[in-house]
């Protein structure tokens, strides 16, 4: 790490003063809102100085008055910018699990208790582009910050920078917050995976997945892991509500699958096995099958519903972690 | 620190429109002071910009603008023969400003336009600093600031932007007042001013030709203001005694009268006698060294000297409004021991001019012998008994101007009468000279100051009589006594052009002018005239023991600190009382918490109601319906366009429904 980066880290640690992650709701008190002039603010100051020299040189009394008025305007700009940010409340919002490689989507609920709107507040995660939000008077707004989720497991919400230049852009007020929030990242489903394992079940037959896919059974809400070709595009277009629906198929529901860690080829490493298992679970879930999952040290009894689907994926996500 | 909103993001139409509008406001007050061709060029540029804005068309290329800029700058250089100085500087700024409007692509350009706008607001004070100018500037600055707000938040509604800009400027005013009073003032200029720093202004000059004073008397401009103290507080001595001495003209070349040779000193050449009158003069800048005082002053201001013709002179031309305390005595005798050289000068006449006047004067000398007094009286009688007219528009006079005036036209203004008188005296061998200055003035009943205007400019005469010194003789008092007793408007015969306010039937207008003048006087004294001297006096009067810059800075810092604390408290203050609808909504959510149906912070009203309905579908569908209704009312109260009657009704309904649910819970 370069010296500058180290120094920056030291500064951030000082700015948050060992509070990360903080208990919610976080209130941005006056002691944690910082204010500095922007480049425009400096240009403004230089312009005022030149104007003052002009007023002195030509003995323009009203010139003095104008310069002093604009200087006062600069001071009120500091206060207004500070006021736009101070005492804002921050609480963690929703955060749906995602698959590794996707964007984690952190919801941050900003609450404005003041009887005035707070416009043009920008939120930013380190190394990400910022989003600008406006929080109406006495209301809450859920801002959504995205962050690439590279690895499975818990992805904690990094330090959030909140800043505003409103109203004049001459000064910038900013603050840091670290709400206690994390996003569960499932392993990425393997792109190439062996077919669903044949289970030595009651009838001993292999799963006829292709056949099962022919019988349309109904629609349900689209989930991130659903294959795109199962999306009911026509239905989505008709609805016009932005909700995507996934076509469900029956045919193989009677079969029960077992995804067992131990029966996988020993040549595969842990992450590969996890991503293959993830693929299988997604496929089975999409196909409307029931499945059971067995990992070293834990086992989930066969089922086919959403709760089971997410429980399995969570188990995979957190496998050998913590 | 990374800029997350780059200054290179393009301007949206609304921002351009705001900048354009504020530019118009800033530009307008400068129009009377710019060359015509530049006004035309700028108007064309603004028009062009307006059309582009209206049609959402792209801006012109840089090349075209660069060409226009260079051509414009060349034009300014040609027009002013200079690129540096006040007027070319303002012209260049205007040019730059109008072209920048056409080269306004992104936020940074927009900000540059705002800064230029503030700059241009300042430049109009070069030309005038009246209350009106201050008001115009306030308007321009408010809208420029509103444009800056829109620049930072383009979705801000227009009225809100102006309101916010106004609020911020109002909050800036305490700081402005504080800085204005306490910021240690420096007397400018810091460096040599360009020659054109002061434009042409009217006032008495160092010479007098027939018509020069009558021209001046058309001007309603204020020459100076006088505030009397003591016995004459809030009023003034009798009009007829108010002779404000100005340049003394003793050289005559046949046509014009000029100042003769004078010596200056800082000692008084006479002894006080008669009644003392104390007063303070506030002299408007006139770019000549004259200081005006009642005849005759016994105090010489710090910035002045006394000339040998008993005129007060400033050491440097009066470039800024000057305020000085004065004391005059009414009975002073001057020049009893006048130097022979000076008396010789006061007899000088161009040879061969005005033969008829010379003949008349010689006849008087023959008739009265050594009795100078009798000759003076003869001349006064001559004016009195012949038919002379006092008029602002006398006929033009030829080569022998005094002859033509005294014997043919007999129509003239004060300069004709005094010049004719002095010529006759000199022709008869009595030392005489023309004195110019102001006579009279009007007391403003609103604040009790005496206002002396350019229209009060006057010329009278002085003759030197042995043993009695210089004696004032005012021939105008003989021809038109009301000019001296009251003022010009009464002295002029009916039908003469005169200022509107002097017309009968315009008393209310006169009253308004008095009020306005009083206000303008306070403004001039305390705002425009607040210079280092005034600042020291004022702060000393406020109780500051030694108002030097160190002490001023300390006090300034202390009071600013207190002000800032107050404003910070305002910034941190927030009313804890919630809007009623929100309070009810929170109560509703709390009442459902025991069922595990508390609202999540991110849940909107409709999503929340849907969740309640879905969860309670089996056990309590009525509650789901009720929740949907409450959510709908809440959403309408919070997010719909407010309507006072409906709001009240909905609030009552919501209150009822929420309390019913709370009862149901028990």
Q: What is the ipTM of this complex?
A: 0.77
- Which residues numbered 156-195 in A keep a CB inside 8 Å of some CB on B? 163, 165-169
Instruction: Work out how many domains chain A is built from and give that number.
Output: 2
**Bond into A25 cis (ω within 30):** yes
Same domain, A115 and A231: no
CA B115/CA B113 separation, integer angstroms: 5
Contact (CB, 8 A) for B379 and B283: no
DSSP state of B493: P
In the beta sheet, which residues pair with residue A91? A109
Mutation choice for A interface testing from B146, B169, B176 by most A CBs within 10 A: B176
- Identify the band that residue A45 occupies on the pLDDT scale cut at 50, 70 and 90: very high
CB contacts of B151 in chain A (<8 Å) are: 169
Cα distances from B602 to residues A90, A93, A108, A139, A280, in angstroms, run 11, 6, 8, 11, 34
pLDDT for B386 equals 83
CA atoms lying within 13 Å on the CB side of residue B105: 9
B129 touches A: beta carbon within 8 Å: yes
**Bond into B635 cis (ω within 30):** no
**Could you tell me if residue A104 is left (phi over 0), alpha (psi between -120 and 50 degrees) or otherwise beta?**
beta
Residue A192 counted as domain residue: no
Interface contact flag, B156 A163, Cβ < 8 Å = no
CA A42/CA A172 separation, integer angstroms: 12
* Matching residue, tokens 């005559």: B252
CA B424/CA B421 separation, integer angstroms: 5
**Distance of residue A209 Cα from the nearest chain B Cα, in angstroms:** 34
By C-alpha distance, the chain A residue nearest B181 is A65
Q: Residue A114: which of B5, B176, B574 has the nearest Cβ?
A: B574
Q: Residue A40: which of B111, B180, B190 has the nearest Cβ?
A: B111
**Distance of residue B542 Cα from the nearest chain A Cα, in angstroms:** 21
- Identify the band that residue B453 occupies on the pLDDT scale cut at 50, 70 and 90: confident
Same domain, A135 and A255: no
Residue A199 counted as domain residue: no
CA B136/CA B172 separation, integer angstroms: 18
pLDDT one-digit tens code per residue, B104-126: 888 899 999 999 999 999 998 88
Which pairing describes strands B293-294 and B257-259: parallel, antiparallel, or unpaired?
Answer: unpaired
Same domain, A146 and A266: no
CA B388/CA B396 separation, integer angstroms: 16
By C-alpha distance, the chain B residue nearest A166 is B152
In the beta sheet, which residues pair with residue A258? A292
pLDDT one-digit tens code per residue, B39-86: 998 898 888 888 888 888 888 888 888 888 898 889 888 888 877 778
Beta-carbon contacts of residue B129 (< 8 Å; ≥ 6 apart): A60, A61, A62, B527, B528
Which pairing describes strands B222-228 and B276-283: parallel, antiparallel, or unpaired?
Answer: antiparallel
Kind and range of the H or E run holding B662? helix B644-665
Phi, psi of B294, deg, nearest 5: -65, 145
- Domain end call among A171, A186, A201: A186
What's the farthest any 2 CA atoms get from each other in chain B? 137
> Mean pLDDT across chain A, nearest whole number?
82
By C-alpha distance, the chain A residue nearest B579 is A138
By C-alpha distance, the chain A residue nearest B186 is A56
B573 touches A: beta carbon within 8 Å: no
**Distance of residue B575 Cα from the nearest chain A Cα, in angstroms:** 7
Same domain, A168 and A72: yes
Is the C-alpha dihedral spanning B201, B204, B209, B210 positive or negative? positive
Interface contact flag, B169 A139, Cβ < 8 Å = no
Interface contact flag, A79 B568, Cβ < 8 Å = yes
SS3 content of chain B, % helix, strand, coil (to 5): 55, 15, 35
Mutation choice for A interface testing from B140, B168, B185, B534 by most A CBs within 10 A: B168
Mutation choice for A interface testing from B125, B549, B583 by most A CBs within 10 A: B125
- Identify the band that residue B200 occupies on the pLDDT scale cut at 50, 70 and 90: very low
Beta-carbon contacts of residue A42 (< 8 Å; ≥ 6 apart): none
Contact (CB, 8 A) for A248 and A220: yes
CA B539/CA A186 separation, integer angstroms: 74
Same domain, A29 and A129: yes
pLDDT one-digit tens code per residue, B596-649: 888 887 788 888 988 888 888 878 888 888 888 999 999 888 888 877 788 888
Interface contact flag, B149 A77, Cβ < 8 Å = no
pLDDT one-digit tens code per residue, A152-196: 999 998 889 999 998 999 999 999 888 888 899 999 998 887 777
- Identify the band that residue A198 occupies on the pLDDT scale cut at 50, 70 and 90: low
Interface contact flag, B172 A70, Cβ < 8 Å = yes
Give SS3 for B527: helix
Point out the residues of B that are catalytic.
414, 458, 474
A44 touches B: beta carbon within 8 Å: yes
Look up the CATH architecture of domain B341-433+459-482.
Answer: Roll (3.10)
What's A117's domain CATH number?
2.60.40.10
Q: How far is CA A1 from the centre of its chain?
A: 26
Res A202 pLDDT > 50: no
CA A39/CA A27 separation, integer angstroms: 28
Interface contact flag, B126 A58, Cβ < 8 Å = yes
CB contacts of B600 in chain A (<8 Å) are: 94
* Matching residue, tokens 């003949």: B359
CB contacts of A50 in chain B (<8 Å) are: 119
pLDDT for A250 equals 54
Task: Give the residue ranges of DSSP H helices in chain A.
Answer: 3-16, 39-57, 61-85, 209-212, 233-239, 270-286, 306-317
Q: Where are the beta strands (DSSP E) in B72-140?
A: none
Relative orientation angle of helices B107-123 and A39-57, to the nearest 10 degrees: 10
Beta-carbon contacts of residue B312 (< 8 Å; ≥ 6 apart): B245, B290, B291, B292, B293, B297, B300, B301, B304, B305, B306
Residue A13 counted as domain residue: yes
CA B169/CA A111 separation, integer angstroms: 29
Residue A196 counted as domain residue: no
> What residue segments make up the domains of chain B, in order of their start?
13-182, 341-433+459-482, 532-572, 580-665
Same domain, A137 and A213: no
- Which residues numbered 31-90 in B keep a CB inside 8 Å of some CB on A? 86
Counting Cβ atoms within 10 Å, is residue A164 exposed (0-12), middle (13-18) or buried (19+)? Answer: buried
Res B271 pLDDT > 80: yes
Cα angle at B114 between B112 and B115, to 5 degrees?
A: 65
By C-alpha distance, the chain A residue nearest B1 is A8
Q: Which domain covers residue A231, as residue numbers?
A: 209-317
- Domain end call among A152, A186, A220: A186
By C-alpha distance, the chain B residue nearest A124 is B4
Kind and range of the H or E run holding A172? strand A171-177
Contact (CB, 8 A) for A109 and A162: no
* Nearest alpha carbon to residue B466 among B611, B607, B335, B310: B335
Give SS3 for B294: strand
pLDDT for B103 equals 86
Residue A158 counted as domain residue: yes
**Distance of residue A83 Cα from the nearest chain B Cα, in angstroms:** 5
Specify which of B162-171, B320-329, B476-485 reaches the highest per-range mean pLDDT: B162-171
Same domain, A233 and A275: yes
Res B130 pLDDT > 80: yes
Same domain, A63 and A174: yes
**Distance of residue B64 Cα from the nearest chain A Cα, in angstroms:** 27
Comparison of pLDDT for A319 and B489, the residue scoring more: A319
> Mean pLDDT across chain B, nearest whole number?
83
Task: Give the residue ranges of DSSP H helices in B497-643.
Answer: 507-522, 532-541, 549-572, 580-592, 605-615, 621-639
CA A300/CA A278 separation, integer angstroms: 14
pLDDT one-digit tens code per residue, A13-27: 777 665 567 777 788
Contact (CB, 8 A) for A73 and B142: no
CA A29/CA A36 separation, integer angstroms: 17
Same domain, A178 and A35: yes
Cα distances from A67 to residues A54, A287, B29, B125, B443, in angstroms, run 10, 73, 18, 12, 36
Give SS3 for B656: helix
**Distance of residue A14 Cα from the nearest chain B Cα, in angstroms:** 16
Kind and range of the H or E run holding B470? strand B469-473
Beta-carbon contacts of residue A269 (< 8 Å; ≥ 6 apart): none
Cα angle at A205 between A202 and A211, to 5 degrees?
A: 125
Burial B3-33 (b: 16+ CB within 10 A, else e): ebeeeeeebeeebbbbbbbbbebbbebbeeb
- Which residues numbered 48-107 in A keep a CB inside 8 Å of some CB on B? 50-51, 53-73, 75-77, 79-80, 82-83, 86-87, 91, 93-94, 107
pLDDT one-digit tens code per residue, B335-385: 888 888 888 888 888 888 888 999 999 999 888 888 888 899 889 888 888
CB contacts of A163 in chain B (<8 Å) are: 4
Residue A200 counted as domain residue: no
CB contacts of A87 in chain B (<8 Å) are: 572, 574
Which pairing describes strands B411-412 and B389-390: parallel, antiparallel, or unpaired?
Answer: parallel
Q: Residue A60: which of B129, B152, B175 has the nearest Cβ?
A: B129
In the beta sheet, which residues pair with residue A184? A154
pLDDT for B230 equals 83
Q: Residue B188: which of A58, A65, A113 has the nearest Cβ?
A: A58
* Nearest alpha carbon to residue B346 among B401, B417, B428: B428
How many C-beta atoms surround the C-beta of residue A168 within 10 A?
A: 28
Comparison of pLDDT for B204 and B362, the residue scoring more: B362
């Amino acid at each position: 790490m370069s010296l500058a980066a180290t120094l920056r880290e030291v500064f951030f640690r000082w700015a948050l003063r060992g509070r990360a992650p903080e208990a919610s709701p976080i209130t941005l008190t006056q002691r944690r809102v910082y204010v500095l002039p922007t480049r425009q603010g400096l240009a403004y100051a230089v312009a005022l100085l030149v104007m003052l020299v002009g007023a002195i040189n030509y003995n323009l009394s009203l010139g003095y008055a104008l310069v002093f008025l604009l200087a006062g305007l600069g001071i009120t700009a500091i206060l207004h910018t500070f006021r736009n940010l101070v005492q804002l409340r921050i609480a963690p919002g929703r955060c749906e699990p995602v698959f590794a490689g996707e964007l984690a989507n952190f919801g941050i609920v900003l609450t404005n208790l003041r009887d005035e709107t707070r416009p043009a507040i920008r939120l930013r995660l380190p190394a990400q582009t910022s989003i600008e939000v406006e929080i109406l008077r006495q209301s809450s707004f859920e801002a959504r910050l995205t962050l690439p989720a590279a690895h499975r497991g818990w992805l904690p919400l990094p330090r959030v920078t909140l800043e505003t230049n409103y109203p004049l852009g001459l000064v910038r007020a900013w603050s840091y917050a670290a709400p206690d929030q994390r996003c569960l990242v499932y392993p990425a489903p393997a792109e190439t995976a062996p077919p669903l394992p044949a289970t030595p079940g009651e009838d001993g037959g292999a799963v006829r997945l292709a056949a099962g896919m022919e019988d349309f059974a109904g629609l349900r809400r689209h989930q991130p892991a659903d294959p795109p070709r199962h999306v009911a595009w026509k239905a989505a277009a008709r609805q016009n509500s932005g909700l995507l629906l996934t076509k469900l198929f029956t045919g193989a529901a009677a079969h029960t699958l077992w995804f067992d860690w131990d029966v996988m080829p020993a040549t595969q490493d842990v992450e590969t096995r996890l991503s293959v298992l993830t693929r299988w679970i997604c496929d089975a879930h999409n196909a409307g099958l029931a499945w059971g999952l067995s990992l070293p040290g834990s086992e989930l009894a066969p089922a086919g519903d959403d709760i089971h689907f997410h429980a399995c994926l969570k188990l995979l996500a957190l496998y050998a972690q913590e | 620190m990374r800029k997350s909103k780059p200054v290179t993001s393009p301007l949206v139409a609304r921002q351009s429109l705001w900048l354009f509008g504020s530019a118009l406001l800033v530009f307008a007050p400068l129009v009377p002071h710019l060359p015509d061709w530049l006004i035309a060029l700028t108007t064309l540029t603004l028009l062009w910009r307006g059309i582009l804005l209206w049609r959402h068309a792209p801006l012109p290329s840089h090349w075209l603008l660069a060409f226009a800029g260079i051509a414009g700058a060349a034009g300014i250089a040609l027009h002013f023969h200079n690129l540096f100085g006040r007027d070319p500087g303002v012209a260049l700024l205007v040019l730059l400003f109008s072209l920048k409007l056409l080269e306004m692509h992104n936020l940074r350009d927009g900000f540059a336009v705002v800064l230029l706008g503030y700059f241009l607001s300042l430049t109009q004070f070069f030309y005038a600093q009246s209350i009106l100018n201050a008001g115009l500037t306030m308007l321009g600055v408010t809208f420029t600031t509103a444009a800056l707000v829109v620049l930072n938040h383009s979705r801000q509604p227009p009225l809100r932007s102006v309101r916010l800009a106004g609020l911020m400027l109002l909050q800036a005013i305490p700081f402005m007042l504080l800085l204005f009073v306490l910021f240690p003032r420096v007397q400018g200029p810091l460096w040599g001013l360009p020659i054109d720093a002061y434009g042409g202004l009217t006032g008495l000059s160092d010479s007098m030709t027939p018509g020069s004073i009558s021209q001046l008397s058309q001007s309603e401009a204020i020459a100076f203001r006088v505030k009397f103290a003591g016995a004459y507080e809030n009023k003034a001595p009798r009009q007829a005694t108010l002779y404000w001495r100005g340049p003394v003209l003793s050289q005559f070349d046949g046509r014009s009268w000029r100042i003769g040779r004078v010596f200056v000193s800082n000692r008084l050449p006479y002894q006080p006698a008669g009644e003392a009158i104390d007063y303070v003069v506030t002299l408007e800048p006139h770019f000549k060294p004259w200081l005006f005082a009642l005849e005759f002053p016994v105090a010489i201001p710090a910035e002045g000297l006394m000339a040998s013709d008993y005129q007060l002179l400033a050491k440097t031309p009066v470039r800024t409004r000057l305020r000085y305390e004065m004391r005059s005595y009414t009975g002073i005798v001057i020049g009893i021991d006048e130097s022979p050289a000076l008396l010789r000068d006061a007899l000088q006449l161009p040879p061969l001019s005005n033969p008829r006047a010379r003949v008349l004067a010689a006849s008087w000398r023959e008739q009265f012998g050594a009795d100078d007094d009798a000759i003076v009286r003869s001349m006064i009688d001559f004016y009195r008994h012949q038919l002379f007219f006092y008029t602002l528009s006398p006929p033009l006079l030829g080569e022998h101007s005094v002859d033509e005036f005294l014997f043919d036209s007999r129509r003239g203004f004060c300069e004709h009468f005094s010049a004719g008188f002095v010529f006759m005296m000199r022709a008869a061998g009595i030392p005489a000279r023309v004195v110019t200055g102001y006579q009279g003035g009007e007391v403003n009943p609103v604040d009790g100051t005496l206002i002396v205007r350019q229209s009060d400019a006057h010329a009278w005469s002085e003759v030197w009589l042995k043993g009695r010194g210089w004696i004032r003789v005012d021939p105008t008092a003989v021809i038109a006594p009301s000019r001296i007793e009251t003022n010009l408007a009464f002295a002029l015969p009916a039908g003469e052009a005169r200022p509107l306010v002097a017309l009968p039937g315009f008393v209310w207008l006169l009253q308004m002018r008095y009020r306005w003048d009083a206000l303008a006087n306070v403004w001039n004294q305390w705002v425009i005239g607040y210079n280092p001297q005034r600042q020291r006096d004022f702060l000393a009067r406020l109780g500051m023991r030694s108002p030097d810059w160190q002490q001023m800075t300390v006090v300034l810092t202390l009071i600013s600190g207190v002000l800032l604390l107050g404003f910070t408290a305002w910034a941190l203050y927030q009313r804890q009382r919630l809007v009623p609808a929100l309070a009810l909504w929170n109560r509703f959510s709390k009442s459902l918490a025991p069922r595990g149906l508390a609202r999540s912070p991110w849940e909107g009203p409709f999503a929340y109601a849907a969740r309640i309905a879905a969860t309670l579908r089996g056990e309590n569908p009525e509650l789901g319906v009720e929740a949907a209704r409450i959510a709908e009312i809440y959403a309408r109260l919070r997010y719909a366009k407010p309507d006072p009657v409906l709001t009240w009704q909905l609030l009552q309904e919501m209150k009822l429904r929420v309390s019913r649910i709370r009862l149901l819970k028990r």
